[in-house]
Structure 1
Amino acid sequence: MIADLLSAPGALGAFGVAVLLFGFAPGLVLAAIVRLIPDVDRRQELQAELYEVPRWERPFWVAQQFEVALRIGLSPRISWAWGRYVWHRSKVESGLARHLESPDTFEVPGPELKELIEPGDLVKLAWAVARLPGERMWVRVTHREGDRLRGELENWPIYVHLHPGDPVRFVVDDVIDCDLVEAVCDQASPSPAA
């Protein structure tokens, strides 16, 4: 009987499509879909659930999971990227430029103290954010090459689209305050609290 079915015109192709559609494709497509989901445990659960779904329902079940992945995985990422790069663009402000604009009210560490900044030290930077108030946050210096520095954010931002631990690149003139491991940054008057 199976030989008769497979010998019919186009039957072998239909059989191949059925094997692909109901056997091979759901697992591969689901493996790609779950990459959109941020929760690793949920990813593993979905991949295990696939084989509990009856074979004939798997393509439809995988399509439903694609909708879920778009909603809980891709949508927040698009929203975050939109906020970070389009709507709430932010950039590190120059502390020296702000000091030169208002020397009596905006104090920054002097050049001697800025020269002492090295990896492991904390520095405070100011961010300007489009359409929102700016923020001042601490960054732990991880690398210094001349006046160029790299560090990791230490605070939870409110307006700036960053997370603690995110890398930050800046120059020494951007520093508005510092907490050095080897020395103490003295300011004539502290800048407003961040």
Structure 2
Amino acid sequence: MQMLTKLLIEQKDIFLAPGHYFHSEFNGVIYDQLPPLLQKQHNQKLIEKYTLLIPNNQTAFLPKILSTHWNKLPIIAVHLGEILHLQSVSMSGKILNNERLQHYFHQPLNPMKILNNNIETRLIASGAAQVLLCLAPFGHAYTQRAKYMFNTQVQKRIPNCNNPILPWNIIEKTCNYLSGHEKNENTAPH
């Protein structure tokens, strides 16, 4: 019970504030413009409407890198989708080596342009599938919430994504890239 309380305290924004990260299709309001009391009420409505699971004793703590970047999972999904695409067009079909990953991160996609324009649904779905696979070992309460970060068009395509599972170090590298390059969330490469 003490571990569950600690989980709810440390990751309360994930479990108790879905309005902060849900896709606008499911959120229905401009969450950040609501006063705190209305945000709390809105979050409770979302939890009830989508019957979001409350963590239990089997729910594990997310690694810090994932909990820190929780709100950026759609951006991470775009990058992972493109990395998977690069891997599929590579001659060897092997997981991208560090040199090719570094090259990608020097000239990445503009994830906000892709997410805001709802283009490249296949790419977003491939990355979203990777995100959900990465979260699955920690508990269904995480994957259930994370899927609502993506619109229904992307959600419908996720089950059809049959890409190999990316190794943890690529997911971690993508998260670290975002931490070190905040401008890359919003700006296009030159």
TM superposition score category, shorter chain reference: under 0.3
- TM-score, scaled to structure 2: 0.21
- TM-score, scaled to structure 1: 0.21
- Give the number of the structure whose residues are more often helix, by fraction: 2
- Give the number of the structure whose residues are more often strand, by fraction: 1
